A and B are shown apart, each in its own frame.
Chain A
Amino acid sequence: MRILIVDDSSTMRRIIGNVVQQLGVAKDDFDEAEDGVVAWKLFQDNNNYDVVLTDWNMPNMNGLELVKTIRTVDKKIPIVMITTEGGKGEVITALKAGVNNYIVKPFSAEILKEKLDGLVKG
């Protein structure tokens, strides 16, 4: 399973990467991006990702813009928004933009595992 992890915090990218590794994904099977611009470039260059895990608030291009941009070319790829934005309005906005699932920080490894399992099986 190829995963794209997008977050401006290097610590968060490592935390998510660690959880993903616990699920059995090899280190070489996931890429990291610090903002939407880098993520979009990686997405275009390596169009082989199975899941995108993205933060919302990031410089240059935020997560919501990234989701909308990806959805213009790929309607199927599962996208999970992992963010501190915990408002109901934000969740609805993200879902409308094309997010498949939503995780509010801080989250437990179990939650991410469940959501990823659900997306991959579904």
Chain B
Amino acid sequence: MSMSQEEIEALMSGADDVEVDEIEEEIPVIEEVSENEKILEESSDDEDDSIEEINVDDILAGIDGIVDDEAPEETPEIESETTKVEERESEINEGQYPLPVSNENKVVNQLNEVADDSEKKASQIFDVLSFILDENAEIEDYNKEISAFILKQTELLESLSVKFPNVDIFNENLQKANTLIETSKQLSSKVDAENNRIFEAMELMQYHDINRQKIERVMAVIKKLSNYLNGIFEDDSGKAEVQIAKHISGDSSEIVDDDDLESLISEFSAD
């Protein structure tokens, strides 16, 4: 039977509520257990004296779904923890923990990269702003040409409307031309305002340089600190690395007491 998406999600999230299908699947196991119990009961009836001889472990092993509740042996866990600690120590000694000493993780390198990358991006932003300024200058030139043409047309229409006051079209076009001259002035003023905003943005880009210098100051501090720490922690004794104790009295980790110690000694002596 295929599981619905909700059931899969519930299963993945380890939900406590058991679904109907799961119960259905568990029923045969229970039945199987009951059958085995019957066998056990029958065998106990028949062979009361030999009950201890029945290998319960073998029967349990033959039943699906029976989970061994016995606590796992402690020794492998301890060994596993010890291995983990040793692995971690090895990673620290090799400079792999908490982060490998690669160019991507070296602080000064990263800061340097950030500063350089930021400089490139700032230059690209400046390119865009410069492009808009250049385009605006072209728009301004076109606008001047259009405005000059409309002014000439206005003069022509003014003389025509004076000469032919009864022809309405001259007067109408004259009014339209005057409106266009106003529009042209508005366009010019909008382009000027836009240019001023771009100059403001360019001025604000000085903060990029200021921030870069702040990063450089931090880099200088880190370099000096690194040199100082290297100097103060430097071991010029030439002695080989000393083997260090893993568990010392007073540590937060569990230390064997006298009884445990004696018990362990006697246990191993008995073997």
Contact = CB atoms under 8 A, between A and B. Distances in A.
Nearest to A7: B209
Interface stretch (A14-22, A40-48, A73-81, A87-95): A14-22
Contact of B210 (A18, A22, A84): A84
Contact of A12 (B130, B204, B209): B209
Interface residues of A, number: 16
B202 A18 contact: yes
Main secondary structure on chain B at its contact with chain A? helix
Contact of A10 (B119, B130, B206): B119
B199 A9 contact: no
Among A15, A108, A109: residue with most chain B CB under 10 A: A15
Interface string A28-70: 0000000000000000000000000000010000000000000
Contacts of B123: 10-11, 14
A106 interface: yes
Contacts of B199: 18, 22, 109
Interface of B: 119, 122-123, 126, 130, 199, 202-210, 212-213
22 contacts: A7-B209, A9-B119, A9-B209, A9-B212, A10-B123, A11-B119, A11-B126, A11-B205, A12-B209, A14-B126, A14-B202, A15-B126, A15-B203, A18-B130, A22-B199, A57-B213, A84-B213, A106-B203, A106-B204, A106-B207, A107-B206, A109-B199
